Structures are given as structure tokens and as C-alpha cells.
Amino acid sequence: MADIGMNTTMRIIDDLRKELKKRKVNESSEVKMVLKDILIRILDEHNTESLDVEKTPMIILVIGVNGAGKTTSIGKMAYNFKAQGKSVLMAAGDTFRAAAIDQLQEWGKRVDVDVIAHSEGSDPGAIIFDSIQAAKKRNTDVLICDTAGRLHNKVNLMNELTKIFKIIDREYPEASREVLLVLDATTGQNAVAQAKTFKESCDITGIVLTKLDGTAKGGVVLGINTELGIPVKLIGVGEGKEDLQTFDTKDFVDALLNIN
């Protein structure tokens, strides 16, 4: 029901059998707590680091398919970082959708953060370049960059991301870097397929899991953790600007298993 995926489910069942035997558990009421320990252990294998914005200057590249909640997550991140006393700049690098530029600019107004943007159809690399120059000039702590969310043509996606990384390497080598993949929790196993495709294109440092406020329980996180080894760093739990939280394995497993 949590859409964990077949491979990961089989691993969990195997681990559970061994653990129940090892602990000599006879009461069915105790099984859930053993399962909780196993799920936390699986998640903790990869979720060892949270998003650390103390290593400034920092550039965060946000990737993911259209509709996953990229732009909204960027706006919420900017709000959180600003609340932590950091100076923030946003770059509207998704130039293939006019709505993406407008949406990011609207978020900029909401959270009082400047957005570097060109017109629709502009070269994304040029926007990243201009954003880096602006961030350096202003001594900005965190630069958050949106990117185009196209998966139907993987070659274009890879070429575009490769170009952006080259610009960052050349223009901003001193900045610490995060590459965050935004995934929609409601898409289930499709999210694993998306993560695999993006992982072929770039070195993903973490996942932002959105739409956990709905009926989806986001069990797909376990599949991504075990199959791809990518940590979840942030979760979106609502539409408000403060509704982006640091991922906590214990709280997540408690919610997954409906433990109060």
C-alpha cells in the first residue's frame, strides 16, 4: 500500500524473518516494532547527511520532471534559508516553460528573494552563468537554480545538464554544490524510474520528496534508497512556504506504519 516496490519489499520481508527469529518474537503485536527498526536501519544506510547550508557559498541545482514540484520546492527552500539568516538568490533556468519563469518570480515576491531570469526559450546555460556572476558580486550565501524538466528526450537532457555543470565548474569552483532531484511521492514506482534516468545524467546528492501531505505514503523512498543509494534530504508536506522539512527517518517510518 505504501508502494515500496517488489525488490525492496522482498528484502524487508527477508530481514524481518531473520530478525524475528533472532529476537525470538512470539507476539504479533511486537512484529510492527521490529519492522520499524528494520525500515529505519535501511533508511539510515544512506540518509546520513542533511542539507548543510553552512558551507557557503553554495550552489543548489534542482532537477526533476515537470509537475513534480520543482519550482515550489525552490521557493520553499529560499524561504527556509532566508529564515536561517542566509542571503539567497534564485535562477529561473527552466526556460522551456514560460509558466516556470513566472512561477519562480511569483515565489520570489512571496519570500522576498531576487530571481535572475531571461525570456522564455533563452539558453539555460546563459542564465546559470549570469546568476553565478550576480551571486559572486553580491556575496550571496546560497544560489538555487531551476532546470528544465524534460525526460522525453534523454540526450537533450544530458547535454543540457552537462553544459550547466561545465559552467559551474568553470565559473564557481569555490562553491559547495548540491544536486537535488525533486520527486512526487504520489507517482510511486515511476519516481524510481525517473531517479534512474537522472542519475545517468548527473551525480545526484539528495532527493526532495514532494506531496507527502496527500494519501501517498512515499514508500518509494525505501526503493530509491536501496536500489540507487540516494539520500532523501527534504520532504514537502503542504502548499505553504514553511511546508518543506528536513527528512527524519524515525518520523517518516512512524507515519508509514501509522505509529503514534
Q: What pLDDT sits at residue 215?
A: 56
The alpha carbon of residue 259 and the mean position of all alpha carbons in its chain are separated, in whole angstroms, by 25
In a domain, 145, yes or no: yes
Among candidate residues 188, 226, 252, 213, the one with its CA nearest the CA of residue 36:
252
Question: What is the average pLDDT across 40-60?
Answer: 86
In a domain, 204, yes or no: yes
pLDDT class for 153, splitting at 50, 70, 90?
A: low
- Give the range among 126-130, 175-179, 210-214, 216-220 with minimum mean pLDDT: 216-220
In a domain, 35, yes or no: no
In a domain, 27, yes or no: no
pLDDT class for 37, splitting at 50, 70, 90?
A: very high
In a domain, 225, yes or no: yes
C-alpha 105/C-alpha 44 separation (Å) is: 36
Report whether 143 contacts 129 (CB < 8 A).
Answer: no
- Which strand (E) or helix (H) includes residue 59? strand 58-63
What digits encode the pLDDT tens for the residues 96-117? 877 889 999 999 999 999 999 9
- Give the range among 117-126, 208-217, 238-247 with minimum mean pLDDT: 208-217
pLDDT class for 185, splitting at 50, 70, 90?
A: confident
The whole domain housing 212 covers 58-256
C-alpha 116/C-alpha 74 separation (Å) is: 13
In a domain, 239, yes or no: yes
Task: Dig out the grid coordinates for 147 from the structure.
Answer: 532546470
pLDDT class for 151, splitting at 50, 70, 90?
A: low
Question: What is the average pLDDT across 121-135?
Answer: 93
Rounded to two decimals, the pTM is: 0.90
In a domain, 205, yes or no: yes
Q: What pLDDT sits at residue 214?
A: 62
pLDDT class for 255, splitting at 50, 70, 90?
A: confident
The CATH number linked to 200 is 3.40.50.300
C-alpha 211/C-alpha 217 separation (Å) is: 9
pLDDT class for 119, splitting at 50, 70, 90?
A: confident
- Give the range among 123-137, 166-180, 221-235 with minimum mean pLDDT: 221-235
In a domain, 7, yes or no: no
Q: What pLDDT sits at residue 182?
A: 94
Name the domain count of the chain. 1
Task: Dig out the grid coordinates for 252 from the structure.
Answer: 517518516
Task: Dig out the grid coordinates for 257 from the structure.
Answer: 506504519
What digits encode the pLDDT tens for the residues 193-225? 888 888 887 889 999 999 877 656 678 888 888
Please determine, for residue 11, whether its predicted confidence score (pLDDT) is greater than 80.
yes
Q: Which residue has the higher pLDDT, 203 or 156?
A: 203
Please report, for residues 48, 114, 145, 162, 238, the alpha-carbon distance to residue 244 in angstroms, rounded to integers and kept in the order given: 19, 20, 17, 28, 8
